[in-house]
Amino acid sequence: MNELLRRLLFLPPQASTLARDIDGLHYFVIISTMLGALLVTVVGGWFLIRYRRAYVDAHPDEYDVQARPPLWMKIAAVGSLFLLFVIWWSIGIRQYLELRVAPEGALEIYVTAKQWMWKFAYPGAARTISVLYVPAGRPVKLILTSRDVIHSFYVPDFRIKQDAIPGRYTTEWFEARSPGVYEVLCTEYCGTGHSMMRGRVVALDPGDFDRWLGGADLETPLAELPPQQYDPPWVVGQTARAPEVDPVVIGERVAETQGCVRCHSIDGTPHIGPTWAGLWGSVVPLASGDTVIADGAYLTESIMDPMAKLHRGFPPLMPSYLGKIRPAEVAAILAFIQSLRDVEAQPAPPPATRDGGAP
**What are the DSSP E strand ranges found in 175-281?**
180-186, 198-204, 233-235, 238-239
> What pLDDT does 60 receive?
66
Q: What is the pLDDT of residues 306-321, one digit of tens each?
A: 898 999 988 888 989 8
Mean pLDDT for the stretch of residues 338-359: 61
Number of residues assigned to the chain:
359
**3-state class of 204 per DSSP?**
strand
User: Most confidently modeled of 157-166, 235-244, 324-333, 337-346?
Assistant: 157-166
pLDDT over threshold 60, residue 300:
yes
pLDDT over threshold 50, residue 155:
yes
**3-state class of 195 per DSSP?**
helix
Q: Which of 348, 338, 351, 350 lies closest to 277, judged by CA?
A: 338
pLDDT over threshold 60, residue 138:
yes
d(CA 151, CA 327): 17
| Residue 156 buriedness (CB in 10 A; 0-12 / 13-18 / 19+) | buried
Q: Using CA of residue 111, residue 333, residue 314, residue 284, what is the dihedral sign? A: positive
Q: What is the pLDDT of residues 83-126, one digit of tens each?
A: 988 888 888 888 888 888 888 889 999 999 998 889 999 987 78
> What pLDDT does 226 receive?
56
Residue type, 347: P
Q: What is the pLDDT of residues 204-256, one digit of tens each?
A: 988 888 888 877 665 555 555 554 443 343 333 444 444 456 788 888 888 88
170 forms beta bridges with: 144
Distances (CA, A) of 332 to 9, 202, 248, 298, 319: 36, 22, 6, 15, 19
